[in-house]
Structure 1
Amino acid sequence: MKAVSECYPCLCRLVHQAAALATDDEELKAEAIREGLRVIDENFSADVTTIAIATEIHQIVKEITANPDPYRGVKDEEIRISRELISEVSPAYPQDFKGYLALSALGNVIDFFRDFDTIRGDMRGKVEFLIDDSDKFKRKLEKATNVLLLADNSGEVFFDLPLVKWMARSARVTYVVKESPVQDDTTLDDLRIAGIEGELDRVITTGTATPGVLLHLASDEFKREFAAADLILAKGMGYYEALSEFPSDGRILYCLMAKCQPVADSIGVPLNSYVAMLR
């Protein structure tokens, strides 16, 4: 998904947020903001993905502030809230594939641009997929032997775990996280902090610190696994923005809440809709 005009102010907001989280030093913060905005002005185009621009923004903010994980505090709070809410909300969902998929989608309510009170409120709502290809995906899953789940935000792992365990009854499921910190995306350290590292049979990383994934930057291991997977369950808008650039091959299920208007428009749903879309 290429950048559209509405993405420009959102990227500017990202610069200010990342810099504010990265340092309390006003001079460093001002430099990080100045350089981050320069990245946007030099790269923003209808021919470029927002993922590519955001990746460069985060890299330069981390370099200037010497903070490798600006969103650490945000991620810790997301993990805490998710651990607290999962036992409260999970009984509302059937203990089957469709129920576990909806529960996983509920975790995608988490977003670093949303305040925690809004997140708590939305998590107590019921997931109804406006686009629902879950039955098609399940039929494919019955014949699959190798499945990737591309994880999104740090707190979502609690909501993903029941789905991972259900799918693992018939296929090898690999949980994919980020190699190093970017935004509030899940890393191996976050799995350890969440205390559920040992509950996932197989975990690899993308080899990158990019929102979503930029395949040309990804590790050889990830590219091999991605190419060999029978099915891929891609969580969140970042993976949709990145992978929708490639031709559809019928094996990627995008599972997300469309939390921004450009993504919602690209998919063809109203803002804040849940989708389970097979492409």
Structure 2
Amino acid sequence: MKIKLYCPSCLINRAFVESQKASDDPEIRLKSLLDSFKAISCNTNTNVTPAYLGTIRDRTIKETSKNPDPFHEEKIISNQRAIELLPLAKNYVQKAETPSDKFRKACLISIVGNAFEFGIKDYHFDYNDLPKWIEEVEKDIGIDHISKIEKLANKADRILFLTDNAGEIAFDKILVEQLKNMGASITVAVKAHPISNDATLEDAKIVNMTNIADKVTTTGTDTVGLILEECSKEFLNEYDKTDLVIAKGMAHYETITEYKVTKPHALLFRVKCLSISKDLKIDLGKNIAYLIEP
């Protein structure tokens, strides 16, 4: 998805939020913010994705502020709160009466986890809302390709799972475990370095994903979403040999939809911004299970 009318204001709002978290020094905060404005402006045109500009913004703020992980505290809290809610999420999945229903519920729980997000314009996240969202997850489905995804997962020998946020990755464990039970080998890929509140190897270890997946690797880079041109050879090898890609979060929708895919990609996320809402013609707050096939 290329940049839309509403993207610049959201990119700038996120820059403000992130620059405040990057430093306690007002001068460094301001310089980080202004440097990110310049970086966004110099790289903006109608052919780029919001995720590409978000990558440039976040790298600029990290460099100017000398803070490699502005959302570090938020990620710690997100992981803690998600782990506390795991029994509730697992209980929802365990109510399933058939294997197909169990897969469906695991997908929906993973999507609910995508609510762990900070700094998006006009989007407010409150941990206290999560129990309600778990309870109402079925009602909030906007695009539902779960049955198609299940058929592909059942046939797949290898599945590559691209994570999104810290906290969310704890909910993803439920789906990864279900995928393993279906017979596939699961490789989970996190970011190589902190970017926004995205999960890294540290987060994967904290939530015990490293003991669930067959392999946990990194993309080799710190991009927002998937920018294949920046990924490591090791990751690209995993990507090339997988049968099915499952990608979490809006940034993966923004970036993957710009590629001509050669294998199925299942995109699981919650609609949290106007640009994606209008691109999909789906209301804000809806849960999405969107399958892209070659």
TM-score bucket (shorter structure):
over 0.9
Structure-2 residue corresponding to 1:227: 240
Structure-2 residue corresponding to 1:109: 115
Counterparts of 2:128 and 2:255 in 1: how far apart (Å)? 26
Structure-2 residue corresponding to 1:98: 104
Counterparts of 1:260 and 1:105 in 2: how far apart (Å)? 15
Compare 117-126 and 11-20 and name the one that shifted more: 117-126
Matched, 1:84 2:84: yes
Structure-1 residue corresponding to 2:99: none
| 1:278–1:115 Cα change, 3 Å | closer
How big is the shift at 1:268?
A: 2.5
| 1:233–1:216 Cα change, 3 Å | same
How big is the shift at 1:157?
A: 1.8
Counterparts of 2:131 and 2:175 in 1: how far apart (Å)? 23
Counterparts of 1:38 and 1:119 in 2: how far apart (Å)? 36
| 1:133–1:195 Cα change, 3 Å | closer
Structure-2 residue corresponding to 1:75: 75
Compare 120-129 and 241-250 and name the one that shifted more: 120-129
Deviations 1:139-194 (A, max 9, x none): 11222101011111111122111211121131111111000100110000112233
Compare 160-169 and 173-182 and name the one that shifted more: 160-169
Instruction: Please give the root-mean-square deviation of Cα atoms over the aligned residues, in Å.
Output: 1.7
Counterparts of 2:250 and 2:216 in 1: how far apart (Å)? 21
Counterparts of 1:261 and 1:63 in 2: how far apart (Å)? 29
| 1:5–1:58 Cα change, 3 Å | same
Counterparts of 1:70 and 1:181 in 2: how far apart (Å)? 8
The code of the aligned residue for 2:232 comes to S
Matched-pair contact (CA < 8 Å) for 1:109–1:122: no
Structure-2 residue corresponding to 1:208: 221
| 1:112–1:149 Cα change, 3 Å | same
Structure-1 residue corresponding to 2:10: 10
How big is the shift at 1:233?
A: 0.7
Write out aligned runs for 1:52-201 (5 A). 52-93=52-93, 94-95=95-96, 96-113=102-119, 114-117=124-127, 119-120=129-130, 123-128=133-138, 129-169=141-181, 170-201=183-214
Secondary structure of the 1:238 match is helix
The code of the aligned residue for 2:161 comes to L
Write out aligned runs for 1:34-53 (5 A). 34-53=34-53
| Structure 2 unmatched ranges of 5 or more | 97-101
Counterparts of 1:40 and 1:121 in 2: how far apart (Å)? 37
Structure-1 residue corresponding to 2:271: 258
Matched-pair contact (CA < 8 Å) for 1:79–1:155: yes
Matched-pair contact (CA < 8 Å) for 2:89–2:171: no
Counterparts of 2:249 and 2:230 in 1: how far apart (Å)? 19
Compare 118-127 and 155-164 and name the one that shifted more: 118-127
Deviations 1:82-130 (A, max 9, x none): 1111212432234421111111111111111333356536534421222
How big is the shift at 1:249?
A: 4.6
Matched-pair contact (CA < 8 Å) for 1:109–1:123: no
| 1:265–1:215 Cα change, 3 Å | same
The code of the aligned residue for 2:259 comes to F
How big is the shift at 1:197?
A: 3.0
Counterparts of 2:38 and 2:84 in 1: how far apart (Å)? 40
| 1:119–1:77 Cα change, 3 Å | farther
Matched-pair contact (CA < 8 Å) for 1:250–1:278: no
TM-score by length of 2: 0.90
TM-score by length of 1: 0.94
| 1:266–1:118 Cα change, 3 Å | farther
Structure-2 residue corresponding to 1:278: 291
Deviations 1:63-99 (A, max 9, x none): 1111111110110111111111121243223442111
